[in-house]
Structure 1
Amino acid sequence: MIYSIFSSLPSFKSYAFRSGLNIIIADKGEASGAGQTRNKAGKSSIVLLIHFALGKEGDPSSLFRKPELKDHNFGIEFDLRGVRIRATRSGATFGKVHLTQVDASKAVKDWAVDALDGDWEATVSSAKWESDLGRIIFQLPEKSEKFGPKFGMLFNYFARRASSGAFLNPQQQSSKQSPADTRVALSYLLGLDWRISTEREQLRQSAENTKKLQKAAQDGLLEGLTGDPKQLLTQSVLVQEDVNRMTEAVRSFRMLPDYAEREKEANNLTREINRLADENAQDGLYIHDLEVSLSSESAPQLDDVQRMYSEAGVSLPGIALQRFEEVRKFHESVVRNRKMYLEEELTQARLNVENRQRKMTQLDDRRTEVMTLLKTHGALQHYSKLQSELSRAEARAEQIKQQQSILHEVAERVAQFKIDQQRLYLRLQRDFIENEQLLKDAILAFEEASRALYENAGNLNIYPSETGPNFEVTIQGMKSQGVNNAQIFCFDMMLMRMATRRGISPGFLIHDSSLFDPIDERQKERALEYGAKLAEQIGFQYIVTLNSDQIPKERVTTFPLEDYIIPPRLTDEPGGGLFGFEFN
C-alpha cells in the first residue's frame, strides 16, 4: 500500500493514505462557472506523481520537468514486499531516484533483487529502479525477454492514466498499447503462458519481414519478371545457355591486331579486280570489232570499173588506163596497211586482256588470303563487344539466381510460418486446458464485479485463437461510454483479484475521476461500495479521485461513502489545487 505522497514544494498538499478505500475529493468553488470542472485541482496529477516516483513519467513533456516544478522533489512512501520505502525524485535530476528504507530493521529477504544495493539508503537510476520494481513486485524474470513483460506495461493496469488513453477499453492501459503487448501483459497477470504470446509476436514480425522480402522480389528486383518461380527457372536456363555460348566464343576468339587494315586491303583488292574486269570487258568488245573489220577488209576490183565503162560504150585512153592501174595499186597498198594496223591493234588488245587476267588472278589470290584471315580472326572492338555481352548475360543470370533464392526463401518462410503458427495455437489450446480453473476464476471475478453494478452482468470471454489469447468484455444490450467505463472498473477489479492471488500485485489500485465521469450515479455508488468491500476482503488499497459533483446525491445503498474521504480536499479556487498554484 501507499502510506503517503509528499513534495519539497511548500505549497504542495501532501496526503496520508490508509488501507482499503481512500477517496480524494476536489470541490467546486463558489466562483466557478456552471461549466467549469475541477481539472485545475490536480487530481490526475496524483496518479502521475506515483508513476514519477516509481521511475516513469520522465520524458521531456513530463509535468515534473516543467520550470515551476523541476527543482522540487516529489515522492511516495509505500510498502514494497513488507519493507517501507521512500522514493523521491525531481525533474531536474529525473534520471535518478533517491531511495530510503524507513524501517531499517526490516529485511529485504523477500525481494528478488536488492534495490538499495545492501544499504538502507541509495540513489539509483530511474531505469534500474523501474527494472528492480518489476522483479520485486511482479516477479519478472531476471533477464528481460524481447516482447516479454515489463514493469510499466503491467503497473499501468493498476494506475491507469487518462492522459495515455487508459479509459478507452478494458483490455488496454494505453491507446498506443499494441495487441501483442496487451496479450503478454494480461497473460502474465492472469497466470497463462505469456511466452506463447511473445513467440507469436516474434513470429508475426518475422512474417512481416517475409512480406517485405516478397514485395521486394516482386516489385522490381528484376525487370521483366513476375516473380513466378516456374518462369524464373525457365529464364535461368535460357540465360545460362547464353552465358555458356558467349563464354566459349570469348575463349576461342582469335584477335587480328591490324584487322581494320586487312579489311581495308580486301576492299581495295575487290575494287581493283572489278576495275580490271571492266577494262577487259571493254577490250573484249574492241577485239570483236577489230576481228570483224579484218574479215571485211579487201582491195577494190578495178576490172569491174573498166568493164562498166566498156559496156557503156566509153573507151578509156591508154594514159587513163595507166593511171587507173596506179590507183589500183594505191588502194591495194592502203588496204594492206590498214589490215596491218588492225592486226597490231588486235594483238595489243589481246595482250592487254591477258595481262589484266593474270593480274586479276594474283589479286584474287591475295584477296582470298586476306578474307580467310578475316574469317578466322576478329577485331578488338568485336572482342570488346562480345565481352560486354557476356558480362551482361552473367549479371542477368546472377540476378535471376538471387531472385530464385529470395522467392524460395519466401516460400520456405511462409510454409514455416504456417507450421509455427499452428504449433503455437496448439500450445495455447493446451495452456487453456491446463489453466481452465484459473480462467473460470477470472471469468467469475469479472461477473461478480459486473453483477454488483448491473442486474444483467457483463461477460468476460477469454479464448484462444491463431493470433493468440483473446480477452473480450461484453454486456448484453447496453452500449454507452458509461457502460464501457464500468466494464473497465470490473476488469481492473478482476485483475486485482487474480494478481493478488498470485502474489504479483503492487498492493494498491488507483482510479482517476475520469473513469467515473460517464458512469451513472447508481452504478458509481455501487462501484465504490464493491471496491471498498473487495479491498477489505483480499487486502489491497483502493485509491479513488472524484469531483464533488460525482458523489451520488440520491443513494441507492447504505454505503457510508463519506467515511472514506481523506483530507485535504482539493478545489479549483486559486491556491486550492494539489501544487498550490496554477501553471501552464
Structure 2
Amino acid sequence: MLRRLSADYPGFKEFRFRSGMNIIVAERTQHSSSSDSRNGSGKTSLIEVLHFLLGANAGKHLCSREVFLPRTFSLELDWPILGGTLEVNRQGGAKRVQTSPPLEGRAFDGVMSLGDWKTEVQRNLYPQSTEVEGLSARFLLGYTIRRERDGGFQAPLEFSTKAIKKTVFSTHLAYLLGLDARLIDQYRALAEKQSSVTGLKQALKGLDLGEVVGDQAEIDGKVRLLMHDMEQLQEQIDRFQVIPEFERLKTRADELTTEIDHLARADEIDKRNEADIRDSLEREHIPSDDYLSTAFQELGIALPREVKRRYDEVEQFHRVVAENRQRFLREELQETRRRIDQRRRERKEKDDERSLILQRLNQGGALQGLQMLQHSIASKEAQLRSLREQTDLLDRIQNIQDEVRLQLLELKSRVHEDLRERDSYRSEASNLFTDYARRIYSRTREAYLTINEGEKNLDIRPHIANQESNGIGNMRVLCFDLVCAVMAHRGGRGPDFLVHDGRIFDGVDERQVASGLQLAAEVAQAEGLQYIVPINSDVLAKGRDCGFDPDPYLLHPPLTDADETGGLFGFKFD
C-alpha cells in the first residue's frame, strides 16, 4: 500500500494514506474552473507526483518544471521484498531516485538510475510480469494509477490516447486478468513484424527507379525487356555495328524536316484564308432597305397593312441572316489564327529536336556511336539492378505478410484453446464486472465483460447498456479497473492499491456518484485493497446528498484553490 506522500519544503500538503478508501477533497471556489491547471487545487497534480515517484520519465513532466528543480518529492510505500516499507525520493527533473533503505545490488548508497528503479517497481509491484518480455511497470501502472491526462478515461482498455498499439494494451490486460500474457504478447510481436513491412515499403520508394513499380508481374516484364535490349546492344557493341543508330538519327532528322515543311505549307494556306476573311469582314455590312418605302411613297402607292407587316418580317429576317454571316466570319478568323499559333509551337518543338539530332550527327561518328551504345547499356544495367532489388524487397514483404498471416491464424487457434482452459478466469472477471456495474446502476442493467480471441488482438469488451453516455462511460472505467485490481491482487500479480483522478466522477449522475464511491469503498474493504481518489467538493456533495457518507474516508488537509497556499504544492506557478 501507499503510506505517505511528502516533499522537502513546508508548503507541500503531506498525505498519509490508510487501507481501504482514501478521499482527498479539493475545495473549488467560484472563480476557478476545471480546466485551470495553473490555479487549480492540485488533485490532478497529486496523481502526477505519484507517477513521477514511481518512475515516470522526466521529459515534460510537471515535476520537471524549473520551479521544482530544487525540490525533492518522497513516497513511502510497502515493499514486499523488504517485508516493510520503502521510502523513495526524487528531485524535480532528476533521472535518478534514492531509496531508503538502499536496495541491494541496484544502487550506490541508495541512488539508482531511473531504468533500474522501474525494474525494481516491476519486480515488487507486479512480481510475475518479469517473465513476459512485452510487459513493463510503467504500462501496468497506467491501469493502477489511471490519470485523466491524455484522455485516460475515454476508454477502459486504454489509459492513454498516444499512438500505442492495441496489442500492447492487450498484453498488459491479459496479465492483470490472469490470462497467459506470454501467449497474448505474441500478438504484439506479430504486429511489430508486420510493421517491418512498412519499413521495407519505404525502402522500396527510395530506390532510383523513375516510376516505382508495385506489381511483380510488371517488374518481371520490365526485367525481361531490359535483358532483351541489353543483349541487342551488346551484340552491336561486340560487332561495332553502330551505323544503324547513326542511320536512325539521320532518318529521324529527315522526317522532322518533312513534317516542318508540311506545317509551313499549311500555314501559308491559313494565312491566305486569314487575309480573305479579314477582307470580307471589312466589306461586309447590313444593307439598308429604307429606299423601298420612299420609292413607293413617291409613286403615290400606299402599301396595304398586311403587306406592310409582311415587309417588316422579311426585313427582320434579312437582318438576322446578315448578322449571322458576320459572326461566322469572326469565328472562322479566330479558328484560323488558333491553327496558325498551334503549328507555330509544333514547328518550334520539331525544329528544336531536329537541331539536337543534327548536332549529334555533326559531332558523332563511329566512335561517338559506340560510346552512346556503351552508355545506354550501362544505364539499362543500373535499371536492371534496381528492378532486381525491388523484386527482392517485394519477395521479402510477401514472405513476411504470408508468415504473419499464418502465424496469426495459428495464434488465434491457440488463444481460443487457452481461453477455454482458463474459462474460470474469464467467468470470474465477467461476474465481477456485472456485479460492480449493477451495484452502481440496478440489478436489471445489462452489463457484462467478454474476453475472446481476435483476428489481430485479444478481444476484451466491457459493456454497460447506454455506455455512450459520458457518465456511464466513466463508471464503466471504474468497474473495469476494479476488476483488474481485484483479479491481479487475488492472484499475487499486482499491488494492493488503485488510484483514480477524481475526474472519473465528472458528468456522473448524483445517485451513481454515491453508488460508485460506495462500491469502491466496499470492494477495497472486502479485498484488502487501498483506493485513493482526489475529488472535487461539489462532486462529493452529490454523493453525500444521495446517501454516501464520505467522512470516514476523508484525508487531511483538504486542497483548495482559494489562495496561494491552498493547493498541493503550496504556491502558484505558471
TM-score by length of structure 2 reads: 0.71
Q: Contact 1:535 / 1:541 at 8 angstroms: preserved in 2?
A: yes
Which of 529, 535, 538 lines up with 1:540 in the alignment?
Answer: 529
- The structure with the larger Rg is 1
CA distance in 1, matches of 2:531, 2:108: 28
Which of 173, 179, 183 lines up with 2:166 in the alignment?
Answer: 179
Q: 1:222 to 1:558 in 2, by over 3 A?
A: closer
1:396 lines up with 2:383 in the alignment: yes
Give the counterpart letter for 2:25 in structure 1.
I
Which residue of 2 is the match for residue 583 of structure 1? Answer: 573
Which residue of 1 is the match for residue 512 of structure 2? Answer: 523
Give the counterpart letter for 1:85 in structure 2.
L
How far has the Cα of 1:442 moved from its partner? Answer: 1.0
CA distance in 1, matches of 2:108, 2:220: 72
Can you list the C-alpha shifts for 1:127-150, whole angstroms capped at 9, x where unaligned?
2111221122112565883xx111
Which residue of 1 is the match for residue 77 of structure 2? Answer: 78
1:334-353 mapped onto 2 (5 Å cutoff): none
Q: Contact 2:167 / 2:191 at 8 angstroms: preserved in 1?
A: no
CA distance in 2, matches of 1:129, 1:487: 32
Which residue of 2 is the match for residue 158 of structure 1? Answer: 144
Which residue of 1 is the match for residue 454 of structure 2? Answer: 465
Q: Contact 1:96 / 1:125 at 8 angstroms: preserved in 2?
A: yes
1:475 lines up with 2:471 in the alignment: no
Gaps of 5+ in 2: 243-364
Which residue of 2 is the match for residue 14 of structure 1? Answer: 14
Which residue of 2 is the match for residue 133 of structure 1? Answer: 121
Q: Contact 2:75 / 2:87 at 8 angstroms: preserved in 1?
A: yes
Which residue of 2 is the match for residue 89 of structure 1? Answer: 90
Q: 1:223 to 1:71 in 2, by over 3 A?
A: closer
1:210 lines up with 2:209 in the alignment: no
Give the counterpart letter for 2:90 in structure 1.
R
Q: 1:436 to 1:184 in 2, by over 3 A?
A: same
Residue 162 of structure 1: SS of its match in structure 2?
A: coil
1:377-388 mapped onto 2 (5 Å cutoff): 379-388=366-375
CA distance in 1, matches of 2:241, 2:507: 92
CA distance in 2, matches of 1:510, 1:254: 85
Q: Contact 1:28 / 1:37 at 8 angstroms: preserved in 2?
A: no
Residue 153 of structure 1: SS of its match in structure 2?
A: helix
CA distance in 2, matches of 1:83, 1:21: 21
CA distance in 2, matches of 1:218, 1:577: 55
Q: Contact 1:72 / 1:90 at 8 angstroms: preserved in 2?
A: yes
Q: 1:83 to 1:519 in 2, by over 3 A?
A: same
Can you list the C-alpha shifts for 1:395-422, whole angstroms capped at 9, x where unaligned?
3333333333333333333322321221
Can you list the C-alpha shifts for 1:414-435, whole angstroms capped at 9, x where unaligned?
3223212212222221222222
Which residue of 2 is the match for residue 561 of structure 1? Answer: 550
CA distance in 2, matches of 1:87, 1:140: 22
How far has the Cα of 1:76 moved from its partner? Answer: 0.9
Can you list the C-alpha shifts for 1:108-133, whole angstroms capped at 9, x where unaligned?
xxxxxx94438896111122111221
Can you list the C-alpha shifts for 1:464-511, whole angstroms capped at 9, x where unaligned?
111111222222235311111111110111011111012122221112
Which residue of 2 is the match for residue 330 of structure 1? Answer: none
Give the counterpart letter for 2:376 in structure 1.
E
Can you list the C-alpha shifts for 1:49-106, whole angstroms capped at 9, x where unaligned?
21111121522x32222333321211111101133001111115x11211003xxxxx
How far has the Cα of 1:461 moved from its partner? Answer: 2.2
CA distance in 2, matches of 1:120, 1:178: 37
CA distance in 2, matches of 1:215, 1:577: 51
Which residue of 2 is the match for residue 308 of structure 1? Answer: none
Q: Contact 1:221 / 1:403 at 8 angstroms: preserved in 2?
A: no
1:254-273 mapped onto 2 (5 Å cutoff): none
Which residue of 2 is the match for residue 302 of structure 1? Answer: none
1:43 lines up with 2:43 in the alignment: yes
CA distance in 1, matches of 2:128, 2:479: 25
1:73-472 mapped onto 2 (5 Å cutoff): 73-81=72-80, 82-91=83-92, 94-101=94-101, 115-117=103-105, 122-139=110-127, 145=133, 148-176=134-162, 177-211=164-198, 213=200, 222-223=209-210, 226-253=213-240, 379-455=366-442, 456-472=445-461
TM-score by length of structure 1 reads: 0.70
Give the counterpart letter for 2:150 in structure 1.
S
Q: 1:35 to 1:69 in 2, by over 3 A?
A: closer
Give the counterpart letter for 2:139 in structure 1.
M
Give the counterpart letter for 1:569 in structure 2.
P
Q: 1:524 to 1:387 in 2, by over 3 A?
A: same
Aligned length: 444
Give the counterpart letter for 2:23 in structure 1.
I
Which stretch shows the higher mean deviation, 574-583 or 488-497?
Answer: 574-583
How far has the Cα of 1:8 moved from its partner? Answer: 0.9
Can you list the C-alpha shifts for 1:527-548, whole angstroms capped at 9, x where unaligned?
2222111112111111121222
How far has the Cα of 1:201 moved from its partner? Answer: 3.1
Can you list the C-alpha shifts for 1:200-239, whole angstroms capped at 9, x where unaligned?
3333343344356457758986446754333433433333
How far has the Cα of 1:20 moved from its partner? Answer: 0.9
Give the counterpart letter for 1:134 in structure 2.
Q
Q: Contact 1:38 / 1:572 at 8 angstroms: preserved in 2?
A: no
Residue 157 of structure 1: SS of its match in structure 2?
A: helix
Give the counterpart letter for 2:522 in structure 1.
K
How far has the Cα of 1:253 moved from its partner? Answer: 4.1
